[in-house]
Amino acid sequence: MADIFISYAHVDSDKVREIVQHLEKEGMSVWWDIALRSGDRYTDVIEKELAQAKCVLAVWSRNARNSTWVKAEASLANDAEKLVQVVLHRDVKPPLPFNIIHFEPIYGGPNPSDENWRQLLSAVRERVGGATQAERAPAKAANPFDLSTILSLLSAGSLGLYLAALNAPGVADSIAATAGGLVPDPVSLPLYAGAVFGAGAALATVRKIAAVANAER
């Protein structure tokens, strides 16, 4: 069972083959009656593939407009709400009643840079499910730090800087006393620890925020 059933006129086989090849490059499975094998009961196989396909792509051309098969397949697909239509020629539109249903013109054939082709892929994917090749591009690695984490880091860094600044005068006095040959007052010793802790927390915060910035590149 294929995801996409192609309905077309046999004389347009070369152009349809291009469409099929591009769809298959997008990772989609496609069935068209070129896959019929000798000995197959053609009508039974076509009915089965048409019923099981998630999307039916009707390829309208001057020849397809006059094809009873294409009209019948498009009608069944429309009833099942899985019809997608393309037009190959500028002077051609789908026959009634299909000309009142949206269709994509791909006059120059499938072209990944063409907006109409991208719209066609989007319509097909909507019915089949999944993403196009462009949409399957590798996703950017998730940031290891979310907003709340960064805010927490900033808060920790601010606290660290505050503690360092708060204890700086006492530390300076203690250092001066030590340099003068005096023994610092034991009460001032925790000032050292507070200043060291504050400076260390601030430095750690800066490093983690830098890591976040690098992860965003």
pLDDT bracket for residue 43 (50, 70, 90): confident
Q: Which residues of 154-178 are buried (b: 16+ CB within 10 A; e: fewer)?
A: eeebeebbebbeebeebbeebeeee
Reply yes or no on whether the pLDDT at 149 is more than 80. no
Q: Look at residue 109 in the predicted model and tell me its pLDDT.
A: 81
Reply yes or no on whether the pLDDT at 32 is more than 60. yes
Region 98-109: mean pLDDT is 91
Q: Look at residue 16 in the predicted model and tell me its pLDDT.
A: 94
Six token digits for residue 12:
């347009």
Q: Is 92 exposed, middle or buried (0-12, 13-18, 19+ CB in 10 A)?
A: middle
pLDDT bracket for residue 139 (50, 70, 90): very low
- CB < 8 Å & 24+ apart, contacts of 16-21: 16/59, 18/109, 18/110, 19/57, 19/59, 19/86, 19/106, 19/109, 19/110
Q: What is the pLDDT of residues 152-190, one digit of tens each?
A: 555 555 555 444 455 555 545 554 455 555 455 555 555
Of 32 and 217, more confident: 32
Tell me the pTM. 0.58
Q: Look at residue 114 in the predicted model and tell me its pLDDT.
A: 85
Of 213 and 49, more confident: 49
Order of strands across the sheet that contains 104-105: 30-31, 4-7, 55-60, 83-87, 104-105
> What is the total residue count of the chain?
217
Average pLDDT, the chain: 75
Run of H or E residues at 150: helix 147-179
Cis peptide before 97 (omega within 30 of 0): yes
Query: What CATH number belongs to 4-128?
Result: 3.40.50.10140
Q: What is the pLDDT of residues 67-98, one digit of tens each?
A: 999 999 999 999 999 999 999 999 999 999 99
Q: Look at residue 188 in the predicted model and tell me its pLDDT.
A: 53
- Give me the residue label for tokens 């990944």: 112
